[in-house]
Structure 1
Amino acid sequence: MHHESTTLSRYARPGRLTSAGAYAGLLDAVPADPAAIARTIQGLVIHEHIAGAYGVTLSDADRRSVHLRPAAELLAGIVTRDDRPLDVPREPEHRMAGNCRHYSVLLVTVLRARGVPARARCGFGDYLAQGRYEDHWVGEYWNAEQRRWIMVDAQLDEFQRELFGIDFDTMDVPRDRFLVAGDAWARCRAGRADPDTFGLTGTDEAGWWWIAGNLMRDAAALGTTELLPWDSWGAMPEPEETIDEERMALFDELARLTREPDEHADELRRLCADQRLRVPPTVRNDLRHRDEPV
């Protein structure tokens, strides 16, 4: 129980990227219920790759916000576009451009600000592209009454649930519909899934290298550093790179620990201190082709 309490307390307080900072007071307007929090975020953020379905055309300037990492900067971007209270939903054209990671980080930010243990998870959903496991982020929060982590896809509003044909409760995502990266890795290693079905349909990229990248991002998020989907560092493979046996063994161990992170919290922290996995002060933004501070 003491170990569980220590683990949960870690996720119940803001991290360096999930602190609202000077914008903390804005969160007072956000409802307390996780489903209402998700709906609030959906009224503030528009996914850059789905904006067209809402009748919105994003400019290059609009898209700059997808590179924001800290929640405080996301909140600044939201209120710069529209300074009304956060519980007032914006019209789609007035929402800040983001992606699944941004929805998840904002969900975690609000929950942690209220002392609710929460964390972002990086992996793959089977419900966004037919026959594929699509690169995706969700959030988890600890339900003390049920004594379990509940997985939430904060991105999927009513419109997207219809668009993607969602047939499950997005406020309690089944764990066979969203696979954390460690589960994806383990399934592929056991021959129960094809690594070439795990990636991003929009760029027609997939494979072991993509799963390994998400595995490192998920481990970083479990360490309360929620990086961008295109940030890279350390042992992360290059696109289409064949992973050598040493790193395959490293990723095997990382997958084992991240699949049950609470049971292996101490082991996971020790492994992630390895220089091959440890998040450095500066990471590579692969879309901008430059190094950026975390």
Structure 2
Amino acid sequence: MQDVDVWRTHTPFSDPGVHVGAIAAFPAEIGRLIEIVQGVLVHSSWLDEYGLDAARFTAAVRTTLPVARRLDDILARDPQPLDVPRPPERRSIGTCRDYALMLCAFLRAKGVPARVRCGFAAYFRQGWEDHWVTEYRDARTESWRLADAQIDSMLRHRNRIVFDPADMPRKAFLTAGEAWLSFRRAEADPGAFGHGETTGSWFMKVNVLRDHHVLNGRETSDWDRWREAAPTRRSVRDDDLEMLDDLAAHPDQKLVALAPDWLD
């Protein structure tokens, strides 16, 4: 593993830019930072649950923005200080990755080593759903902990979530590499892992590559374009298995510049 101090440094996507001063005034307690994130974002897949008309929005809201641009958008919608919670209709619309990235940015701004992780959550449906969370370093225990800034009161009530979103149990979320290795050890059914109706070892491969990119400072990559892959291209070749096993076991190794095979 790399030196944890690496994770105090912003990437181009996590850098809050001109908003760093506003973040400096935030409390350092992670639970409070999660509340601030929840007060400015609303998830594109749950608009109905927040009383918003999903038909008014387009697929463009799935685009992950750099934190500086996301904060610009939030303030353009409502110029109140960022730590003032907005009603859902005046929040910026994003996805789980935006929640994870913003919390990561806030923690880094506070000097806490933090990073975004790609993997699968067990608290959205039966099985394991594609999801992104924040992993941060606990100075007291010198260990990595998981936090999901998306878990607000609505989601907690709807999905009967009882754990602390600032300190999630590892059994609630598997990083992409952990999921892949459990499949390779024949301990898990790959059909239980995926995004909606897209499940199986091919999607697990996509997330292994996306998590590998994140741990090389790239919160987005061409692997996010997985929806473009034709059904006939959604397979894992036998000669990729050894490479994927190695990336799953050591996701923070030097970036393997592997382009998505459906783009060739």
- Determine whether 1:70 maps to 2:61: no
- The residue matched to 2:42 in structure 1 has which SS? strand
1:82 to 78, 84, 91: 78
Deviations 1:4-61 (A, max 9, x none): 7x61111001111100112222323432111100011001000011110111114555
Contact 2:183 2:189 in 1 (8 A): yes
One-letter amino acid of the structure 1 residue matched with residue 173 of structure 2 = F
Give the share of equivalent positions with the same residue, in percent.
34
2:30 paired residue number: 34
In structure 2, distance between residues paired with 1:161 and 1:186: 29
- Determine whether 1:23 maps to 2:36: no
1:102 Cα deviation (Å)?
Answer: 0.3
Question: What is the RMSD computed on CA atoms of the aligned residues?
Answer: 2.5
Residues 242 and 187 of structure 1: is their aligned pair in 2 closer, same or farther, counting only changes over 3 Å? same
- Determine whether 1:226 maps to 2:219: yes
In structure 2, distance between residues paired with 1:79 and 1:229: 29
In structure 2, distance between residues paired with 1:61 and 1:51: 9
1:172 Cα deviation (Å)?
Answer: 1.0
Residues 44 and 59 of structure 1: is their aligned pair in 2 closer, same or farther, counting only changes over 3 Å? farther
* 1:1-294 alignment, distance < 5 Å: 7-58=3-54, 64-130=60-126, 132-201=127-196, 204-227=197-220, 231-232=224-225, 241-258=234-251, 261=252, 268-269=253-254, 272=255, 274-276=256-258
One-letter amino acid of the structure 1 residue matched with residue 246 of structure 2 = E
One-letter amino acid of the structure 1 residue matched with residue 78 of structure 2 = D
1:232 Cα deviation (Å)?
Answer: 4.1
1:85 Cα deviation (Å)?
Answer: 0.4
In structure 2, distance between residues paired with 1:102 and 1:121: 12
In structure 2, distance between residues paired with 1:65 and 1:161: 23
Residues 59 and 88 of structure 1: is their aligned pair in 2 closer, same or farther, counting only changes over 3 Å? farther
One-letter amino acid of the structure 1 residue matched with residue 20 of structure 2 = A
Residues 214 and 229 of structure 1: is their aligned pair in 2 closer, same or farther, counting only changes over 3 Å? farther
In structure 1, distance between residues paired with 2:191 and 2:107: 35
Contact 1:101 1:228 in 2 (8 A): no
In structure 2, distance between residues paired with 1:237 and 1:194: 22
- The residue matched to 2:149 in structure 1 has which SS? coil
In structure 1, distance between residues paired with 2:186 and 2:210: 23
One-letter amino acid of the structure 2 residue matched with residue 109 of structure 1 = A
What 5-or-longer segments of structure 2 have no aligned partner? none
Deviations 1:138-161 (A, max 9, x none): 101111111111100110011211
Residues 229 and 40 of structure 1: is their aligned pair in 2 closer, same or farther, counting only changes over 3 Å? farther
User: What TM-score does the superposition give when structure 1 sets the normalisation length?
Assistant: 0.82
1:280 paired residue number: none
